[in-house]
Amino acid sequence: MKLATLRNGRPDGHLVIVSKDLTRFASAGRIASNLQAALDDWERCAPILRAVSDQLNNGEIAGMPLDPREALAPLPRAYQWIDGSGYMVHLDRVRSLKGSRDEELQDERPLMYQGGSDSFVAPMAPIVVPEDGLAVDFEAEVVVVTGHVPMRPNREQASAAIRLIGICNDVSLRRLVLNDLQNGFGFFHAKPATSFAPIFVTPDELGENWKDNRLHLKVRVHVNNSLYGQPNAGKDMRFDFADLIVAAAQTRELGVGTIIGSGTVANAHDEILPLKHDGVGFGCIAEARTAEKSKIGKARTPFLALGDIVRINAVDDDNRSVFGSIEQAVKLLAPGG
């Protein structure tokens, strides 16, 4: 089934069940007050939500037309957001930028950082930056939402805890990355609020596109209608989501509704921008720039400017959007907030 959260003036929004083709929704308000509440009581809620989903998809319930501009992030706020680094290609490409010190460590176990989860950004809301010149970048990622995970789980427990799958834009302010990492406490100011596509889906809904704890779909990124990348999230993922969950829970349990990110989706290739027809490209600009430096001696693709629009979609073999679209303009913070 497919779930979304619509704006209703409350911080956690209104949980709805969405049709497979993303055109219609039915309210889940009588089943759970919001998505976190449904996850907290998943054994009871999931079968009821699924029954409504079936009725919506077979036409027994007409539903209402879905306006993606009314969608919030599916979890508008969450108790935990941990971003991993599943794709070594991404780390290899940006490593020089970030000044990482221990390359060998990163091949043995995934890096991860604790992200802010108090106020996620809606799929079509702007990326608000407090000043110009911060080198704004997107990072196209896959995420999973977990149930409770005990400390030191095995891979089977980790895999079984995956409740929902989605995609996000882990917005990064590249000019602040070095300061964050040099101060020694890790990412903070360089990682402002993360944005999410409107729909989270259950693993079964994805059929063959979810296997081996990986999402086997292209994640397609456009900037102002230019294709920047369409790497396949199922390829070159060194650490799958079971690995990431196991790693995250080495010294802690994970609460219900924890979101785990894949890191920027990246496939190995030697392309640079602009992409040739059906090129694979990049899930973030930093990678495109380092590829340019290595191939033509100079980074030429600029970071996002004010007014630029980034669009991120995961698409199936028929180019249909699976989670709905992230579509965000970069905007300057208005005086006085």
Note whether 190 binds a copy of itself by CB under 8 A.
Answer: yes
Residue 146 CA from chain centroid, whole number:
14
Note whether 158 binds a copy of itself by CB under 8 A.
Answer: no
Q: Which residues contact 258 (CB under 8 A, 6 or more apart)?
A: 78, 79, 80, 81, 82, 145, 146, 149, 248
- Of the candidate residues 54, 253, 302, 307, the single one contacting a copy of itself (CB under 8 A): 253
Q: Please write down the HEC assignment for all residues of 269-294.
A: CCCCCCCCCCCCECCCHHHHHHHHHH
Note whether 125 binds a copy of itself by CB under 8 A.
Answer: no
Note whether 152 binds a copy of itself by CB under 8 A.
Answer: yes
Note whether 78 binds a copy of itself by CB under 8 A.
Answer: yes
Q: Which residues contact 160 (CB under 8 A, 6 or more apart)?
A: none
Yes or no: say if 108 and 243 are a contact pair by the CB < 8 Å rule. Answer: no
Interacting positions 269-328 with a copy of itself (CB under 8 A): none
| 333 to 7, 29, 309: CA distances (angstroms) | 22, 34, 16
Note whether 79 binds a copy of itself by CB under 8 A.
Answer: yes
**Closest distance of CB 182 from a copy of itself, Å:** 5
In this chain, which stretch among 14-22, 161-169, 184-192, 285-293 interacts with a copy of itself, using CB under 8 A?
184-192
β-bridge partners, 165: 144, 201
**Closest distance of CB 162 from a copy of itself, Å:** 16
| 44 to 19, 37, 114, 159: CA distances (angstroms) | 21, 11, 30, 20
Note whether 243 binds a copy of itself by CB under 8 A.
Answer: no
CA nearest 146: which of 235, 249, 50, 49? 249
- Of the candidate residues 150, 207, 274, 302, the single one contacting a copy of itself (CB under 8 A): 150
Note whether 193 binds a copy of itself by CB under 8 A.
Answer: yes
Give the DSSP H/E element, type plus range, for residue 49. Answer: helix 42-57
Note whether 262 binds a copy of itself by CB under 8 A.
Answer: no
Q: How far apart are CA 32 and CA 58, in angstroms?
A: 22
Note whether 111 binds a copy of itself by CB under 8 A.
Answer: yes
Note whether 225 binds a copy of itself by CB under 8 A.
Answer: no
**Closest distance of CB 313 from a copy of itself, Å:** 25
Note whether 104 binds a copy of itself by CB under 8 A.
Answer: no
Name the site residues for a copy of itself (rule: CB under 8 A): 10-11, 40, 77-80, 82, 85, 98-102, 105-106, 111-119, 128-130, 134, 150-153, 173, 176, 179-190, 192-193, 250-258, 333, 337
